[in-house]
Amino acid sequence: MPRAANKAAPRGRPVRRLAEAVETRGLILDHAEALFARHGLHGVTVREVGSSAGVDPALVHYYFETKKGLFDAVFERRAEVLNAERISSMDAYALAAGERISAEGCIEAFLEPILRHSIQGDERWKNYFRLLALVNNSPDWGGRMMTRHFDPVIRRLIDLLRRCMPQASDVDLYWCYHFLSGALTLSLSETGRIDRLSAGACVSADMEAILRRMVPFIAAGFRRVCQPGPQAT
């Protein structure tokens, strides 16, 4: 029996090493995410990431090869989660709504998974949303990165909105999404600007208040642009 136990013992070590590697990789990603969210791709060094995570910078290179590889891994990690949740949310809404599908319902199904993560107060998700805002406003390469990771889920939203507004042109739908994207990324950044502007009446971190107002605001904008009625005189 002792000899059998000795033979079994080594099999546990690779499993432990794998678990430790996964944990270390996740730790590096969390700290890199926080730094990139505040300073951007070019304002952070691999050494700073290693120091923040408490690991040798060589380990960062081991897992991600380059700083750009690290940045891409940070961006992709939560993008995959968000995309899956938003597609599921929109598909569930469309199935339940049937012919009663509405712009409000489509937009809420698209926004709710994003804002829910922020409402839950996980600082890692908040860091990621700040990073999203930064990437979305980076003219040199941000647009390409957003395209690579988020276009399929956005096209799903546009497809659903076409069902609500079949006479809408693609040009109008995409412009309206552009305005939605700007409002969303600004709100997710939680800059505190509205807090100061409103003398504390509004709080930029109040995601429930944002969701209640953003859905009807954005839906009305889509309808006004995509279903224009008689012009006021």
- Measure the CA–CA gap between 55 and 43, rounded to whole angstroms: 19
Higher-pLDDT residue of 105, 140: 105
- The reported pLDDT for the residue numbered 233 is 36
Q: Which fold has domain 1-65?
A: Arc Repressor Mutant, subunit A (1.10.10)
- Measure the CA–CA gap between 112 and 90, rounded to whole angstroms: 10
Residue 105 banded pLDDT, cuts 50, 70, 90: very high
For residue 204 the two structure tokens come to: 């930029």
For residue 123 the two structure tokens come to: 């600082």
For residue 64 the two structure tokens come to: 């991600």
- Per-residue pLDDT for 85 more than 90? yes
Q: What is the DSSP string of the chain?
A: -HHHHHHHHHHHHHHHHHHHHHHHHHHHHHHHHHHHHHH-STT--HHHHHHHHTS-HHHHHHHHSSHHHHHHHHHHHHHHHHHHHHHHHHHHHHHHHGGG--HHHHHHHHHHHHHHHHHTT-HHHHHHHHHHHHHHT-TTTHHHHHHHHHHHHHHHHHHHHHHH-TT--HHHHHHHHHHHHHHHHHHHH--SHHHHHTTTSS-TT-HHHHHHHHHHHHHHHHHHHHS--PPP-
Average pLDDT, rounded, for the chain: 89
- The reported pLDDT for the residue numbered 139 is 84
- The reported pLDDT for the residue numbered 12 is 62
Q: For the domain 77-226, what is the CATH superfamily, name and number? A: Tetracycline Repressor, domain 2 (1.10.357.10)
pTM for the model: 0.83
- The reported pLDDT for the residue numbered 173 is 97
Q: What angle do CA 202, 204, 93 make, to 5 degrees?
A: 105
- Per-residue pLDDT for 35 more than 90? yes
- The reported pLDDT for the residue numbered 142 is 86
* Mean pLDDT calculated for residue range 197-204: 96
- Per-residue pLDDT for 220 more than 50? yes
* Mean pLDDT calculated for residue range 4-23: 63
Distance of CA 71 to the CA centre of its chain: 14
In the chain, where the domains are located? 1-65, 77-226
At 141-152, the pLDDT tens digits run 888 889 999 999
Find out whether 57 and 47 touch, Cβ atoms under 8 Å.
yes
- Per-residue pLDDT for 2 more than 50? no
Higher-pLDDT residue of 153, 7: 153
Encode 66-75: b = buried (16+ Cβ within 10 Å), e = exposed.
Answer: ebeebbbbbb
* Mean pLDDT calculated for residue range 51-58: 94
For residue 199 the two structure tokens come to: 């003398």
- Per-residue pLDDT for 198 more than 60? yes
Residue 46 banded pLDDT, cuts 50, 70, 90: very high
* Mean pLDDT calculated for residue range 180-208: 93
**Contacts of 46 by beta carbon, 8 Å cutoff, 6+ apart:** 57, 60, 61, 67, 70
- Shared fold status for 1-65 and 77-226: no
Considering Cα of 197, then 136, then 140, then 33, what sign does the dihedral take?
positive
- The reported pLDDT for the residue numbered 4 is 47
- The reported pLDDT for the residue numbered 227 is 80
Find out whether 49 and 68 touch, Cβ atoms under 8 Å.
no
- The reported pLDDT for the residue numbered 143 is 87
